[in-house]
Amino acid sequence: MENVRKLINEEIENLKEDIIASTVALIKIKSVESTAQDGMPFGKGVNDALVFCEDLCQKLGFETKNFDGYALEARFGEHSEDVCVIGHLDVVPEGDGWSVPPYEGVIKDGKIYGRGAIDDKGPTVAALYGMYVVKKLAEEGKISLDRSLRFVFGTNEESGSKCLQYYFKKAKYPTVGFTPDADFPVIQGEKGFLVFELSKKVDGNFFIEGGERPNMVPDRCIFKGIFDIQKAKDVISKKGLEKKAEVYEENGMAVIKTKGVSAHGSLPFKGENAISYMFDILQDLYEKEDEFKRFVEFYNKHISYDVFGKNLNIGFEDQKSGKLVLNVGMVRKVDDRIVLTINIRYPVDTKYEDIEREIKNIIKEYEIDYKLITDMPPLYFEKDHFLIKTLLDVYKEFTGDDTQPLVIGGGTYARWARNVVAFGPNMPGDEEVAHQKDEYISIERLLTCAKIYANAIYRLAKKE
């Protein structure tokens, strides 16, 4: 095993420049979901990333198959069982406040910057080259494999994973595998993933919009209406939010703009929610006793800055996975309704029905409607499962770290594929940069991941 690991690691080192160049090139493709086109279910940018990866896989000698723009499959081998790695090419919108262009793949101080660098383009490239090395060594007769190799590129992980749902209607589930889209040492469980809307019919000549995705802490929110600008400034000052809000006049309407700090929706406590800032201000500013005022009061009483759901009576937690977390990701006025989109990650021992019941008990007083958008039940593997043990062993061999398997709030492709768990790229203690401005992956981490992934693929491809 030691000789094989040495062979694999040397091959990765020889591919260093190719790995870096492919990562930079992929980051340069703005693969944010956009309007669907023929053969491009999630828009041109996402499809461009898929085409790029198809070309790359063919250059690396894989057989490829495009599943109608939803997913790309790369294969090697003819065994009945396989090892499957699944990465995603779509990214969340870049947001504001970057110090470098978000789609240039800028290399600075040993890091590659750009939207998708860590989530999930860099790790996907690292894993692809890892699989390529295993394929190459097998073709050269230096190692033998008992399972085929399969790499799947998804295109809609950030917005519901419709890509994998489509793919697995046409392809078989893996024998075993991983997705390089979370944390090391290995993810044995993922909290339940819930997205729902709270909406209410409102009157009034106003506009409100904040956030871009349910799974991002919103870093901006804007409100336009008829109100006293000086009073708004006084309210903002009284609440100590001068650095978080600005007020001005535009086209005959008064405008408030709040600024937060973006973060991943599974870690809302690491960001600052611009929507919550806005509703805090509106609590004292908006005086008209109407349905919108009631909605504002509901928000500040039952959500506010609480990211653990206690104000909604859903502060569930368990020993396996910890606390429920809540992120208000978006707010919109749609026709005559105010619509709030909320993302919840709930503990593995909690039932969705309990969450829904508690929320509905509260919102009925305010005549607010509840609409379920997505509910993905929790995922959990025991520590002695073959997949968990194998990936944990590979990680420990590289790092010497005894950190135990984790349960996370983030949702990955593992939920939609059987026999798959999330594995890296973040190490214990890493700065969380996914979904944030100036997202990056260090070149050292990129290469380390490639080595870990290659060794893991080899180990999983051996039955003994």
Residues tagged active-site: 90, 157
**Which residue in 342, 345, 196, 336 sits closest to 276, CA to CA?**
342
Burial class (CB in 10 A: 0-12, 13-18, 19+), 315: middle
Which is nearest to 307 in space by CA: 277, 252, 359, 267?
Answer: 267
Long-range contacts of 404-407 (CB under 8 A, 24+ apart): 404/185, 405/185, 405/186, 405/187, 405/188, 406/183, 406/185, 406/186, 406/187, 406/188, 406/189, 407/187, 407/188, 407/189, 407/190, 407/191, 407/320, 407/321, 407/322, 407/348, 407/380
CB 70 within 8 A of CB 136: no
Residue with tokens 């919102």: 363
CA-to-CA distance for 280 and 78, rounded, in angstroms? 60
Residue 36's alpha-carbon distances to 55, 70, 115, 165, in angstroms, are 22, 11, 21, 17
**Mutual angle of helices 16-27 and 122-139, in 10-degree steps:** 140
d(CA 332, CA 312): 21
Q: Can you read off the two tokens belonging to residue 170?
A: 């046409």
CA end-to-end distance (rounded Å), the chain: 12
| Phi, psi torsion values for 41, nearest 5 degrees | -60, -20
CA distance 459 to 1: 9
Structure tokens at 144: 């033998």
d(CA 246, CA 241): 9
Helix, strand or coil for residue 147? coil
Of 431, 437, 328, the closest CA to residue 94 belongs to 437
Q: Among all chains, which residue has been given the structure tokens 């002695």?
A: 384
User: Could you give the CA distance from residue 299 to residue 291 in angstroms, rounded to a whole number?
Assistant: 12
**What is the sign, positive or negative, of the torsion defined by CA atoms of 161, 324, 368, 255?**
negative
CB atoms within 10 A of CB 180: 29
